[in-house]
Amino acid sequence: MATVTALGGVHSFRGERGSLSGNVDAVFSPALRLGESWSLLASARSSYEGTRRVVDVLGAATPAQERMEYRGAVRAVWADSSSRWRLKPGTSYKVSFLKETRDESWGGGLFDERLWTIGAEAEMVTREPHAVRASLDWFEASYPNYTSLESQAALQFSGQLIARELVGDKLLDRDGVRLGLSFDAPVGKRVRLDAALSSLWSRYPKQKVVNDAGLFDSRLREDILTSLTFAARMPREWNADLRTLGSVTFGASFLSSGQNGYDASRGRYMAGFYDYRELFIVPAVKILAGSQHAPVQIDASAGWRRRGYLHRLAQDGTGVYGGHALVTTEWTLTSTLTTPIAGRLSLMFTVERASASSNQRFERYYRYAYESTNALAGVRWDW
Amino acid sequence: MPRQLSEGDGVRTGFNAQVRVELRGGSVLEASGNSSFTIEADNDGQTSVAASLGFLRLTALASGGRAVTVRSPVCLAKVRGERAALSVVVSGGGNVVLEVDSGLVGVEDIRGRQMLLNAGRRIEVDLAGLREPTPVPTPAQRRAQDFMSSMRRELGFELGREADFAAAAKESRREEHRLGRVLTDLDGRRVRVEEFVVRPSADRLALVVLNGRADGLSFYSWDGVFDRALPRDLAPVFSGLAASRDAPTDWTLLSYSATRSNGVASLVERASGGHQVDVNSNGDPSDDVAAVFDAERDVYRATGGPVYKTVFDRWGLYADGTLRRGWTGSNLQSYLDAVPSTTHDPLSGAALAAALPGTVVNTTFPDAASARRSRLESYGDGTSVGVEDFGLEFAGGVAGRGAWGGSSSGDGLHRAMLDWGFEQRVTFNGRTIRLTMPARDFLVTGQLP
């Protein structure tokens, strides 16, 4: 199995248009039958992103951004025709390179990431093709180029008072466990329901918790990110040449972090600084027109996402803290037209728009309110 | 468990279940797990089965003019001749795959188009009608197709598995940007910023700002010693550092050192002998304060009453460890009474190897179009210390002069500086210390002239 997508286009942010750039995404996946019950699925994914997408960290608005990712995974699948159960142990490794400024080089990006996962999924078929799935993964994420300045300073300027006790170096590195539960089931004759719950427990082995004096406690930071998603999908054949798949996805996310915040220049401490709740809803429609084997496909979706921090206060334009918790709202609109042109090759046109707003007025480092659009065109090849 | 079925009865099988139905005339219908069908008619003249989901296999005997049919959502299959075996797969969307194992079968789609299928032929049917018939796949081909279908499904799961990890990584990066730890400097290059407090003892406090660039670290630190233990909540301490309205602060800053360094070069300002003085009542109108910076709200508030500032009896400025300028005094109430140091170090009292040269300070805005201020301290020996302040654009580069408003000094300029990114470049002895950090940190610690 293989898919290659190559798109070129432009990205604009707050009315400023970026230069013409491109994105390429390639997936190659050989599968091997090992016996009556066991199969092996390997996959390799490689991508380059020169044009920012609406799902990116847009508010950073860095002058230049390019990303490359390489991911390899192996998954064994045990499935016996006499059993409802399928077991799938697997492992994956991902390397990400990110250049946010012109002076960063490939491999030297501050947020370059390595991600290991190893785990397993158990699936119980309820009524073919519907199933219930449970998965457990251990992971380790590391940022080889990110070392806290404070830990560097402690070594370089030893003897000077410019580092706290218990300071850590690889502050963003984390490991932990992801637990996932999901199921899909028909609801009546026309609707299919997908539901998923995931919980990601992360431990930061080098990041100590900041206390109300602005110093480090001996405790390590631990986060739990919980996500709950429901999707109702409604396939329909209007006539021989027109089929649609309507869907509505809604969900919620909760981050509970053991880390606090400390604004040193104001001597301001905020417990639970990172905790938030987020709600989102995404109605979408897929329209398939023409031949069933090579239809023209239109995908369109609108997304609304609102995040409220539980303890982080919004600031005014200068940075003075107000009395209300920080809230952000984001709208996204995406549409893609895919037209088969020859064999396995299709033409693709994508337009995406994101609009964000917030009660946070302090935007010296990050834009909380913006309009962003990107337009991309290219080809996709499936095999 | 055998059961009697009648016309109109429906059957739905569970997972991995199998059912075998013996029909009139000797025909046999078999269905595998997760299938659904109805016996529409089964009498002397005809047998008709409606298949709605799953896999069904019919071994039909149609001798004596008997009609044997299988109806699905998108087609009707009718046995031609006396004997035939066929299988029907109805998917969730109603599409059908029909295969003829033996005999002859007629198929008609919902548009009325008809076709005859011989043994060994297979056809797909959907709302669009009959597709082109193809040979029935061999068991090996069928196995391969099933395998590929299963693996495609697994690949979808595999690629979607990473979403939570990607979300967590995105969140880490977003927070680094939001907290101002990753900025773009005057030259459009990446600079990392970390800001924190260090409290080595109960009566001591240091505010530290670190910068990390591709070519190394630089830092600003302000380290103060007070006359008593400080509270855990430092907000009121920072509020009163530069000045206090109406009454002195509860704690008095006795000494401090403010350091700008890149590890090679350092510019250090040191002071001791601190005590609080009402500068509006000290008989020196040149140091009167008309408005005090409110560090809680980041505004200047006018005052007509007492304003207390810490006045130091000993002060010195050191470039790479060498004294450039200083003064001394005793219980100074105004810096007008300070005695400039010439032959002795103001802090240690040690004799200097050579008398200090005279100093001339010149402040300019050298570029009318830019938020840029230059302060040059020239010494009689030909050396100098240059301090340049810049207002920064969001994505790097110097902001326009309008960013700092119309004021060229005092509270108006300071207030405008707070609203923009800030970079300070300190140059002396042929080296430059670059500091990208909030102007507020300089202001609160009394280091923004």
DSSP string, B150-179: HHHHHHHHHHHTTHHHHHHHHHHHHHHHHT
Enclosing H/E stretch for B142:
helix B139-160
Q: What is the DSSP string of A280-306?
A: EEEEEEEEEES-SSS-EEEEEEEEEEE
Cβ atoms of residues B188 and B211 within 8 Å? no
- Quick one: which of A367, A278, A270 has its CA closest to A317? A367
- How far does B122 lie from chain A, in Å, by closest CA? 17
Q: H or E stretch including A246?
A: strand A242-257
Residue B1 domain-assigned (yes or no): no
Residue type, A81: S
Q: What percentage of chain B has pLDDT greater than the value 70? A: 100
Q: Which residues in chain A are closer than 8 Å to B161, comparing Cβ atoms? A: 92, 117, 135, 137, 180
- Say if B5 falls within a structural domain: no
User: Do B129 and B148 share a structural domain?
Assistant: no
Considering the domain boundaries, does residue B449 fall inside one? no
- B436 domain residue, yes or no: yes
CA B264, CA B269: separation in Å to the nearest integer? 17
Nearest CB to B419 within list A56, A100, A318: A318
- Residue A55 in this model has a pLDDT that exceeds 70: yes
What residues of B are in contact with residue A125 (Cβ under 8 Å)? 15
A203-221: pLDDT as tens digits: 999 999 999 999 999 999 9
Question: Min CA distance, B183 vs chain A (Å)?
Answer: 7
Judging by beta carbons within 10 Å of its beta carbon (0-12, 13-18, 19+), is residue A104 exposed, middle or buried?
buried
Which of B136, B166, B198 lies at the terminal end of a domain, its last residue? Answer: B136
Let me know the angle formed at the C-alpha of B347 by B343 and B353, rounded to the nearest 5 degrees: 30
Q: Global pTM?
A: 0.86
Verify that B213 and B304 share a domain, yes or no.
Answer: yes
Q: Tell me the average pLDDT across A21-33.
A: 92
Contact B154 A156 (CB under 8 A): no
Q: What is the mean predicted confidence (pLDDT) over A243-249?
A: 94
What is the pLDDT, as a whole number, of residue A214?
Answer: 93
Residue spans of alpha helices (H) in chain A: 149-156
Tell me how far apart the alpha carbons of residues B234 and A368 are, in angstroms, rounded to a whole number. 28
Q: Nearest C-alpha of chain B: how many angstroms from A349?
A: 23
- The dihedral formed by the CA atoms of A212, A213, A218 and A224, expressed in degrees to the nearest 10: 30
Domain membership flag for residue B122: yes
Q: Are residues B212 and B102 in the same domain?
A: no
Burial class (CB in 10 A: 0-12, 13-18, 19+), A187: exposed
Report in angstroms the alpha-carbon separations of A143 from A154, A165, B159: 20, 23, 22
Q: Which residues of B touch A198 (CB under 8 A)?
A: 164
Which residues from chain A sit within 8 angstroms of residue B15, using beta carbons? 84, 125-128
To the nearest whole angstrom, how far is the Cα of B207 from the nearest Cα of chain A? 7
Percent of chain A having pLDDT more than 70? 99
* Residues B148, B81 within the same domain: no
Cα nearest neighbour of A31 on chain B: B151
- Nearest CA to B44 out of B21, B59, B26 is that of B26
Is residue B95, in this structure, part of any structural domain at all? yes
CATH of the domain at B100: 2.60.120.1440
Domain enclosing residue B351, as ranges: 143-444
Q: Are residues B304 and B386 in the same domain?
A: yes
Residues B127 and B165 placed together within one structural domain of the fold: no
Same domain assignment for residues B27 and B53: yes
DSSP string, B256-305: EEEEEE-SS-EEEEEEE--EEEETTSSS-GGG--SEEEETTTTEEEE-SS
Please tell me whether residues B95 and B190 are part of one structural domain: no
Percent of chain B with pLDDT over 90: 68
The answer, for A163 touching chain B at a CB cutoff of 8 Å, is: yes
Contact yes or no for B397/B405 (Cβ under 8 A): no
Mean pLDDT, all residues of chain B:
92
Q: Contacts of residue B297 in chain A, CB cutoff 8 Å?
A: 320
For residue B128, the model assigns a pLDDT of 77
Q: Supply the pLDDT for residue B111.
A: 85
pLDDT of residue A130: 86
Same domain, B394 and B251: yes
Q: Which tops the pLDDT comparison, A91 or B294?
A: A91
B256 lies in the same domain as B391: yes
Contact B151 A268 (CB under 8 A): no
pLDDT of residue A63: 66
Answer yes or no: do B159 and A274 touch at CB < 8 A.
no
The single-letter code of the amino acid at A115 is L
- pLDDT range class, residue A64, cuts 50, 70, 90: low
Asked if residue B330 is part of any domain, the answer here is yes
Residue of B nearest to A316 (CA): B297
Out of B161, B197, B420, the one facing A214 most closely (by C-beta) is: B197
User: Between the CA atoms of B245, B247, B249 and B255, what dihedral angle is there, to the nearest 10 degrees?
Assistant: 80
Arithmetic mean of pLDDT over chain A: 91
Q: Where a domain ends, among B99, B116, B136?
A: B136
CA atoms within 13 A on the CB side of B171: 23
Domain co-membership, B126 together with B172: no
Whether chain B has a CB inside 8 Å of the CB on A54: the answer is no
Residues B123 and B249 reside in one and the same domain: no
Respond yes or no on whether the N-terminal peptide bond of residue B449 is cis (omega within 30° of 0). Answer: no
Q: Which residues, in sequence order, are CB contacts of B378 under 8 Å at separation 6+? A: B359, B360, B361, B362, B384
pLDDT tens by residue, A105-141: 899 999 999 999 999 999 998 877 789 999 999 999 9
Express each pLDDT in B113-158 by its tens digit: 999 999 999 999 987 788 889 999 888 888 888 888 888 888 888 8
Report B:265-284 residues touching A (Cβ under 8 A): none
Residues of chain B with pLDDT under 50: none
Q: Which residues pair with B85 in a beta bridge?
A: B59, B102
Domain count, chain B: 2
Is residue B3 one of the residues assigned to a domain? Answer: no
Examine the fold and report which residue of B136, B157, B192 is the final residue of a domain before the chain moves on: B136
**Res A81 pLDDT > 90:** no
A1 and B152: CB-CB below 8 Å? Answer: yes
